[in-house]
A and B are shown apart, each in its own frame.
Chain A
């Protein structure tokens, strides 16, 4: 046997073993435990979907049910550690090593398990980074994926929540890996072919839909006046002067407020058509009023959002949809779009230090990075110009020659000076540093680095870090918008005054904004029900958000 075909030979062994338990490509549910034991080998690198939203939950449960005496030492490579089963495999000794990107719902437990040395951590990545490594040094031997339906040839329909699947399958299947899909049902003909059957080896009919986390729904009823004030500042103080048309909103109440202020406050400022025309964004329900009012030309999505399927399908001029009419999302492409084709990222965070590094890590929770660092970083490989990019570049480096001066992506961190439970946003030292020490990491988990952050927006005003000439100015600019936190109260009032005069710090009054005018009546929708009505009843909110 040729030495160059060993992976192919190994794949054939797995296929033979698996086919004994299947009819064609279809593995019946009762045979699933035996099947997984037959096709997964100790030491395998396994990608379990584990996306940001959709979860191959049946396959995850079956994996966690394996006997570690049969299969152990697995190296899990997956975007999201979301289900309890994703960590159960480590508790039980079935898996040993982990490379991942996001762990929001499991942030407390994964922290405990990492500290308890129950998981050997490869690294925490951004989505795009992890996808990239699927093609270089983290290629899966086995991919356990989730789809909506399959035909008997293994053609898959992944539908609105396509998310990571095409990327995972591309890396696994074309590199001699095994692809097993859980589907809600097997049909004669799938509505559209998202994944060709050639790339799929086995299909399991779950009989019920895969689990999806509703992550991108923010109830307008929870938006506070302070968040509205920060939204007004962002719109008038950043979106307008830079002319930001192409952007990504990180999920949060501040950005939800911005979305809901476009048709009202943004309209009043005459900004329609001038800002927020193109988004790399999941279908946020809070964007519905702006879309309906004609603000938005196009949205590309990382994934879907529970309840938005019919609305998206009814707006094919705005969203990406297939010939079957339903949304087609793609996390890898949308992440790339957010990195290169957007001029601004704006999002919230948990901690910002005096240099401007920002982090969502606290000492007992590890949520990972997700996609924010892709969005929230300056892509130095970018070459095409745009107005905001060139303007920001000129602010950052006014002295160099324009023809050799790259632009800068606007990376904005927005939030109230005091967050949940009155914990200050601004800190002397990030908890991430403590975490790095405890876990012996090379790098502290920083979400957005200081040299990428261009602006910080709080209820006290806007700090434009591009205009800061040195570290001291930067520190005072940050203190100057840090409100009454310890960091803010320790400001040098004279320095802050000078920075304000230069326009490095902008107060609401400087923009003609009276904080007393930040009123919930400015929101184009004040409740989930308002959003539903604005969508013409196309948006069907999940039950936890409804009283009807």
Chain B
């Protein structure tokens, strides 16, 4: 497994009150994304364990686009990846933010 770590500026704080959210499943071509509110309000950390080696540059591009487009401030994001495509990764990250911003029942 390859381990990658990113710490990025995320000026907009992720909305909502939920402490955490989880989306996805670890399987071939898929990934799970755990989001916790455990970072400073304007920072987003992303820790990745991935079965696909050598794609650091692609992860870099995906996570940078993510923090630029979504409100990800204050989030500690942890990923277990089974070799998903970048667009699937982007989708899960977006799903994760949407879920953590969802109103609690």
Known A484-B58, A484-B61, A489-B61; judge A418-B87 contact (CB<8 A): yes
Known A460-B87, A516-B91; judge A484-B62 contact (CB<8 A): yes
Within 8 Å by CB of A483, from B29, B57, B87, B95, lies B87
A282 within 8 A of B: no
Cα(A459)–Cα(B85), bound, Å: 12
B83 touches A459 (CB 8 A): no
B21 within 8 A of A: no
A378 within 8 A of B: no
A483 touches B86 (CB 8 A): yes
Determine the chain A residues whose CB is within 8 A of the CB of B88 once the complex forms: 226
A416 within 8 A of B: yes
* Proximity string of chain B (27-61) to chain A, C-beta cutoff 8 Å, 1 when within and 0 when not: 00100000000000000000000001000011001
Total B residues in contact with A, Cβ cutoff 8 Å: 16
B94 within 8 A of A: yes
Within 8 Å by CB of A418, from B57, B86, B91, lies B86
Cα(A422)–Cα(B30), bound, Å: 12
B13 within 8 A of A: no
B2 to chain A, nearest CB (A): 15
Give chain B interface residues in 50-105, CB to chain A under 8 Å. 52, 57-58, 61-62, 83, 85-88, 90-91, 94-95, 98
Determine the chain B residues whose CB is within 8 A of the CB of A489 once the complex forms: 57-58, 61
A516 touches B87 (CB 8 A): no
B94 touches A516 (CB 8 A): yes
The residue in chain B whose Cβ has the minimal distance to the Cβ of A459 is B87
Determine the chain A residues whose CB is within 8 A of the CB of B61 once the complex forms: 484, 489
A515 within 8 A of B: yes
B95 touches A516 (CB 8 A): yes
Cα(A422)–Cα(B89), bound, Å: 13
B91 touches A225 (CB 8 A): yes
Determine the chain B residues whose CB is within 8 A of the CB of A225 once the complex forms: 91
Most A CB atoms within 10 A — which of B83, B86, B90?
Answer: B86
A55 within 8 A of B: no
B94 touches A418 (CB 8 A): no
Determine the chain B residues whose CB is within 8 A of the CB of A348 once the complex forms: none
B66 to chain A, nearest CB (A): 11
B86 touches A515 (CB 8 A): no
Within 8 Å by CB of A416, from B58, B62, B87, B90, lies B87
Known A489-B61, A516-B98; judge A484-B86 contact (CB<8 A): yes
The residue in chain A whose Cβ has the minimal distance to the Cβ of B88 is A226
A149 within 8 A of B: no
Known A484-B58, A484-B62, A489-B61; judge A422-B85 contact (CB<8 A): yes
A304 within 8 A of B: no
Determine the chain A residues whose CB is within 8 A of the CB of B98 once the complex forms: 516
B83 touches A422 (CB 8 A): yes
B97 to chain A, nearest CB (A): 10
Determine the chain B residues whose CB is within 8 A of the CB of A226 once the complex forms: 85, 87-88, 91
Determine the chain A residues whose CB is within 8 A of the CB of B91 once the complex forms: 225-226, 515-516
Give chain A interface residues in 445-502, CB to chain B under 8 Å. 459-460, 483-484, 489
Known A484-B58, A484-B61; judge A418-B95 contact (CB<8 A): no
A417 within 8 A of B: yes
Determine the chain B residues whose CB is within 8 A of the CB of A484 once the complex forms: 58, 61-62, 86-87, 90
B58 touches A515 (CB 8 A): no
A416 to chain B, nearest CB (A): 7
Cα(A244)–Cα(B1), bound, Å: 48
The residue in chain A whose Cβ has the minimal distance to the Cβ of B58 is A484
Cα(A417)–Cα(B83), bound, Å: 15
Cα(A226)–Cα(B61), bound, Å: 19
The residue in chain A whose Cβ has the minimal distance to the Cβ of B69 is A509
The residue in chain A whose Cβ has the minimal distance to the Cβ of B59 is A484
Cα(A416)–Cα(B85), bound, Å: 10
Determine the chain A residues whose CB is within 8 A of the CB of B85 once the complex forms: 226, 416-418, 422
Cα(A516)–Cα(B88), bound, Å: 11
Most B CB atoms within 10 A — which of A417, A422, A460?
Answer: A422
B101 to chain A, nearest CB (A): 12
Determine the chain A residues whose CB is within 8 A of the CB of B58 once the complex forms: 484, 489
Cα(A226)–Cα(B90), bound, Å: 11
Cα(A516)–Cα(B85), bound, Å: 16
B65 to chain A, nearest CB (A): 8
Determine the chain A residues whose CB is within 8 A of the CB of B87 once the complex forms: 226, 416-418, 459-460, 483-484
B31 to chain A, nearest CB (A): 13
In order of increasing CB-CB distance, the 4 nearest A-B pairs are: A484-B86, A418-B85, A459-B87, A484-B58
**Contact sample, A vs B, 10 pairs, CB 8 Å cutoff:** A226-B88, A418-B85, A418-B87, A459-B87, A483-B87, A484-B61, A489-B57, A516-B94, A516-B95, A516-B98
B residues with CB within 8 A of A = 29, 52, 57-58, 61-62, 83, 85-88, 90-91, 94-95, 98
Other A-B contacts than A418-B86, A484-B62, A516-B95, 18 sampled, CB-CB below 8 A, are A226-B85, A226-B87, A416-B87, A417-B85, A417-B86, A417-B87, A418-B85, A422-B83, A484-B58, A484-B61, A484-B86, A484-B87, A489-B58, A515-B91, A515-B94, A516-B91, A516-B94, A516-B98
